[in-house]
Structure 1
């Protein structure tokens, strides 16, 4: 296959750290901060192209994660949230043609800013011992599926559903791994149908793919070597600044709404 990848060096200034952070997150160090990947890349390319380039790499990372957690998941919760996630993906696919780049920048920027403020202000789901719920699972699952389709940012809605249950940490991670494994591979279908996997996008994904195992390896190592507090401070500031920049860049979409 002829290689026709993105040649702009500024793209890789954003894409390389973005993919490493995603890998570090998948390696169990940075939690939902893996969602920083698309916002960072959106600073130099369109949101739809950034999402298309990232998805094949996510699918590769998901296989690695599933090897480690193939037998670990809260299966009842998965039955509650996966149908909703598929609904969210379908909504995202059918609304794709109505979401121009400015709208998507606004959405990604808003998710990034709200996720950061949620962390800084210590906002959390209600601390009640809730169990699996079809109604709540469908709501949060569909929201996760939609935000995952648009910007691979399905982590926060999933957390708002799962955290109040206070399940075992390992079981929580395993359930997340299984959830996003299914979600990301389902997304391949509408992404292909919508023509997102151009030769340039796939070639660029292939160029960035070696960063997947490197990032995951770093995530495992950093877990033992680097204070999480320092990493989180830097990453959240970066995510917040990126979100504000995307909100500013997408302001024309806001003006079109009103």
Structure 2
């Protein structure tokens, strides 16, 4: 069987850094930067094709992330988040043909910057209460939806989970397990929508060797980083993610 993978050098010039960045974000270090992967690849291919190409890459990264952080999971939080994340995938599947992916990216970018501004202007105090669960439910549905459309599920979810003030390892491990189930659930609707063709899958295989490199880089840093610095870098990642997503939507 012939596997006509993408051969354009421009595509790999943006796709390889995107995969490395996605792998680093999967480890928790630079979380939020992973949402830039699809917009970066969209320089060379359409957004739906970029999202489809990343599916096998994400599966490998998710498996590596779970193995690295299997002892660091908030199971109660995960059990709360998953049903709403899966609901977001259902919404994304139903609206996929109707919504422009760049418009969705712009909404995610704007929301990310608003959340970041709120955290900087009104920083939380040690006695601050965590966000209400109803808000967590809405943000997690949004996370499942944006993850389905453009693999950009981190910003909405971060808006709920960051104020919970988990340790870096617990934060990273819980997110790793959450997005494994979310990304795994996307395979059937992606196939149903005709996005998983042989060309995209063959291109995924060409990018696959770069996935463990990015995860390895991030895991080494995540185990050595102080909580205060971890969250500062998280905010930096969210800032550049929001700017890039808004830029793509505008253009």
Please give the TM-score of this superposition, normalised by the length of structure 1.
Answer: 0.82
**Cα distance change on mapping 1:159 and 1:208 into 2, 3 Å:** same
**Cα distance change on mapping 1:72 and 1:238 into 2, 3 Å:** closer
Distance in 1 separating the partners of 2:131 and 2:172: 17
The corresponding residue for 1:16 is 16
C-alpha contact (below 8 Å) 2:39/2:245 kept by paired residues: yes
TM-superposed CA distance for 1:235, in Å, is 6.3
Distance in 2 separating the partners of 1:22 and 1:177: 12
Distance in 2 separating the partners of 1:6 and 1:174: 34
The corresponding residue for 1:79 is 79
**Cα distance change on mapping 1:238 and 1:44 into 2, 3 Å:** farther
Distance in 2 separating the partners of 1:43 and 1:235: 20
TM-superposed CA distance for 1:146, in Å, is 0.3
The corresponding residue for 1:111 is 108
The corresponding residue for 1:217 is 216
Give unpaired runs (5+ residues) of structure 2. none
What is the number of residues matched between the two proteins? 244
**Cα distance change on mapping 1:217 and 1:85 into 2, 3 Å:** same
Distance in 2 separating the partners of 1:145 and 1:233: 21
**Cα distance change on mapping 1:234 and 1:173 into 2, 3 Å:** closer
**Cα distance change on mapping 1:235 and 1:13 into 2, 3 Å:** farther
C-alpha contact (below 8 Å) 1:11/1:45 kept by paired residues: yes
C-alpha contact (below 8 Å) 1:147/1:153 kept by paired residues: yes
**Cα distance change on mapping 1:208 and 1:139 into 2, 3 Å:** same
Please give the TM-score of this superposition, normalised by the length of structure 2.
Answer: 0.84
- Within 5 Å, which residues of 2 pair with 1:30-69? 30-69=30-69
Q: Deviations over 1:151-194 (max 9, x none)?
A: 11111111122122223332221111110011000111111111
Q: Is residue 160 from structure 1 mapped to residue 159 from structure 2 by the alignment?
A: yes
TM-superposed CA distance for 1:245, in Å, is 3.9
Of 58-67 and 5-14, the range deviating more from structure 2: 5-14
TM-superposed CA distance for 1:233, in Å, is 10
C-alpha contact (below 8 Å) 2:20/2:210 kept by paired residues: yes
The corresponding residue for 2:141 is 142
C-alpha contact (below 8 Å) 2:102/2:248 kept by paired residues: yes
C-alpha contact (below 8 Å) 1:113/1:239 kept by paired residues: no
TM-superposed CA distance for 1:23, in Å, is 1.0
TM-superposed CA distance for 1:202, in Å, is 0.4
